[in-house]
Amino acid sequence: MNKQQLIEGIRSLIDRDNHTPEEVVFLKLLMQVWQIDWTIPPYDVWTHMIEWDVPYFRRFMLFDEGDEAEEEQIIRDWTESRLRLGDRDKSSMRDSRKRMIDLIEGVNQLRSSIH
C-alpha cells in the first residue's frame, strides 16, 4: 500500500468545501489512523469517533511524531463539532448520517484503488 498516496487522497477530500465540520474531523482522524495502519476500516474509525473514544486516537497519535499541533487542533475541532450536535434537528441528523455513510464508502473506494 502506498500510504503517501492514500494520505494525499484524504487531504484532497479534506480540501473540498462541501464537507461538514464533523466530516472533516472524521477525515482528519482517519488520516491519523491510516498513517499508522491503513488496514483499519473507516467504519471502525467513525464508530470510535461517535463513541468519543479519545484514547483510541491518542494511541495512534503517539506513533506519529512531528505534527502534535495539528493533532491537538483535531481534538479541539472534534470537541467543537460534538458540542454542535445538540443544535441539530432530527432530519438534519438523518441527512448527516447519510452523508457520513457515503463518505465512508468513498474512502473505502479510495483505499481499494491505491496499491
The answer to whether 49 and 82 are in contact (CB under 8 A) is no
Cell of 95: 441527512
- pLDDT recorded at residue 90: 63
The set of residues, in sequence order, having a beta carbon less than 8 Å from that of 78 and lying 6+ positions away, is 25, 29, 49
Average of pLDDT values for 88-97? 73
What integer best gives the mean pLDDT of the chain?
Answer: 89
DSSP-derived letter for residue 10 is H
Q: Using the predicted structure, report yes or no on whether residue 68 has a pLDDT greater than 90.
A: no
DSSP-derived letter for residue 19 is -
Confidence of residue 1 (pLDDT cuts 50, 70, 90): confident
Confidence of residue 87 (pLDDT cuts 50, 70, 90): low
Q: Using the predicted structure, report yes or no on whether residue 91 has a pLDDT greater than 80.
A: no
Q: Using the predicted structure, report yes or no on whether residue 25 has a pLDDT greater than 90.
A: yes
The set of residues, in sequence order, having a beta carbon less than 8 Å from that of 24 and lying 6+ positions away, is 14, 77
Average of pLDDT values for 35-50? 95
Q: Can you give 25-71 as a three-state secondary structure string?
A: HHHHHHHHHHCCCCCCCHHHHHHHHHCCCHHHHHHHHHHCCCCHHHH
Confidence of residue 94 (pLDDT cuts 50, 70, 90): confident
- pLDDT recorded at residue 66: 76
